[in-house]
Structure 1
Amino acid sequence: MTTELRVLDPTEWDRWFAVLELAFGGVPEAPEEKELWRDLTEFERFLGVWDGDLCVGTAGAFSFRVTVPGGASVRAGGVTMVSVAGTHRRRGILTSMMRRQLDDLRAAGEPLAVLTASEPEIYGRFGYGIAAYSMRATIDTTRVRLSVPEGTDGVSLRLADVTESSAVCEELYAKLVPARPGMIARLPGWERQPLLDPAQHREGASPKLCVLAERDGELVGFAHYAVKPDWNFAGADGAVQVHQVMGLDPVAEAALWRYLCSVDLTARVRVYGRPVDEGWQHLVSDVRRCEPTLRDALFVRLVEVGAALEARTYQAPVDVVFEVADAFCPWNEGRWRLTGDAKGASCVRTSDPADLELSVRELGAAYLGGISLASLASAGRVRELCEGALVEASVAFGSPVAPWLPHGF
């Protein structure tokens, strides 16, 4: 049999999406989720692999702008909805889709590709590195107390309808996007994503709720959450499930966390997908009772090494030559001289001797400043060829705040 890879036609979307649902367990998406994903589909950037009339492979890319160290918003392809039918494994279908996507991203002038992985082991061979982690935690509010900063009592809170408050919450979100690497500027249509609340996914919890934080009549933060009631022999044992917490300053965030940790008839606060350096960890009286756990979140792939490294800034002066290996995108292979500082950077081809040797996967992992080149070197993934180059590059590539992906795609 032969297969054909082609751009997705809108008339094929339902069949295409059904193949994706089957690959992820066969449980149909809620109608409102399915409607949103169809509306967000950029058909010219979505691919299907067909065996006759049968769809056997899916992949897509969203047009994103991702914050990088220094605050710039850089064009990136948000790789998504990747699947291969179980009946058509080991035929090169995944490789063909990854090849086509990266070629298309390069042709479009997008220096980055980003994705979240259902199976992390898959994407390393295509040059993607884990660039950002997220945290989940369960705060035992029967044992943990919060010590909030001065001024917290000056923040007023009020409940609001999730949908009716969406516009002001999106305005606040947009203000925060440049402040942390990995954050995605939400283009038109994506404001609907935080509003998704399918009943079939609530598992006994309430519909999504919203609390707004205000100071002197101005919005300074908000939280989306749900409450899952529960009882045991001793009494109320409910949980607050946090979907989003956004604050313009530490005081606003502290006011929101204090509220979430004091909801009546609950004994714990469950948080998912939060920044690994989030401030609430320093407010709690006993972080052990919060059970913080890390998980990989955002994978980054440098489509064009030179353009990508020039798009960000560096927290310390750097002048280093990389010997880059990239078998899947050979246009990136070879030596690149990176010079830069907090004001800007240049990255050009060079014939000068290399200072560091690594693959594009390691550059992707270190790109947002959350993964240290020195840490990768300790695993043998980066090789120092010139003494001192590793420390210089590791410090320069760092970020004062951890990268964070605020939502999936």
Structure 2
Amino acid sequence: MIIKLFFQNVQNRRSVQHALKCIFLSLIISILGLPIFHCSESQEQSEESFAEIATPLIPVNQLADDIQMANEDITQSRQNAITRAVARVNSAVVGINVTQILRVQQRSFWDNDPFYRYFAPPQSYREYEVNGLGSGFIISPDGYILTNQHVIDQASEIVVSMTNGEHVNAEVVGEDPKYDVALLKVDKNDLDYIPFGNSDDVIIGEWVIAIGNPFGLFDVSSKPTVTVGVVSATGMDFEGDGGRSYEDMIQTDAAINGGNSGGPLVNSLGQCIGINTLIYSGSSEWEPGTSIGIGFAIPINRVKTILPDLQKIGPVDQSFATGLEVENISRVVARMMGISQRDGVVVTRVSARSPAESAGMQVGDVIVAIGGERVRSTADVQQVINSVDIEKDRNLELTVFRDGKLYEVVLQL
């Protein structure tokens, strides 16, 4: 009896386990949403089912329209403030090719020696014809173009490359060597031009676009090169070669290379906020070279202040020749010159037929003041010279120490 009950219990357990397995399997199938096919379905019914699944729910022509709309959305998403600004101004950027006559003084190995310059006669000059390039941009429909003065300095011929492939001769309307700005004119009308922005309102970190003719690439495709960066800093001041004064410069990391000088620095609204001018190339000088992400532009508000003068009176000649060469007074120079005065700068050369010679300046004179302002180094001299308004004052007053006495000397510029 006991054995019989034992087998019945085992059979009951097996039935219960089988039932639970069936229930569990049904639950899994229902949760996963798996279709349950009946073996009694015919092959024809299965084929009809697959045929229904393969039938497209959207007409083919509607799919094509949807794909076209999707492509248009992608294209529109690529249009941003940068691309729109470039599209507005690109046709107003030009390449500038110049032929320059450079007058170079023949120098010797000993020219850096003040003792040699004290006794040696002046060196002669030779003239060379060289080709240069730069960038510019049109600022009015009747063909006025802005660029850097150093791009067209001493140019005997200026040819402007337009985005339509034309090459047009340009003439210099006005130039300001001190501020490194030049205004050109081409004989064309109805030209696209770039409007001015407000360089006083630039924001550090805002997007800017440098457009121009690096390495002469404009002449390869008749299209300017575009680089993008941000405003890195403002209010940067530098002293350049030839008495040029760069004040309140806009610093940017937009790539600026040789040939970009004179091109526009544009904001995201398509307005010019500066003229690309300098880069720091990693050497000891501020000069054309390869960009390492530190470039500088003349703020356009500064250009606005001199533009009327450039248009009306032509060249704004801020440069002048005094005929003097000076050195800081080191102990070695003082000993060689036989002078005890250490405050000021010493005259090491007086050029023939110069304002300095006409005023009686002599080698060995020590200049201690210019225009009433004391000078202690050649840097002070350059700063004072840069501040002279040659258009208003044609005389330069020097305070000179000679033979233990102070003299007032006036140079007629």
Tell whether the structures are fold-level matches, with TM greater than 0.5.
no
Which gives a bigger RCO, structure 1 or 2 (Cα 8 Å, sep 6+)? 1
Give TM class, smaller chain. under 0.3
Given the two structures, how large is their TM-score scaled by the length of structure 1? 0.24
Rg (Cα) greater in structure: 2
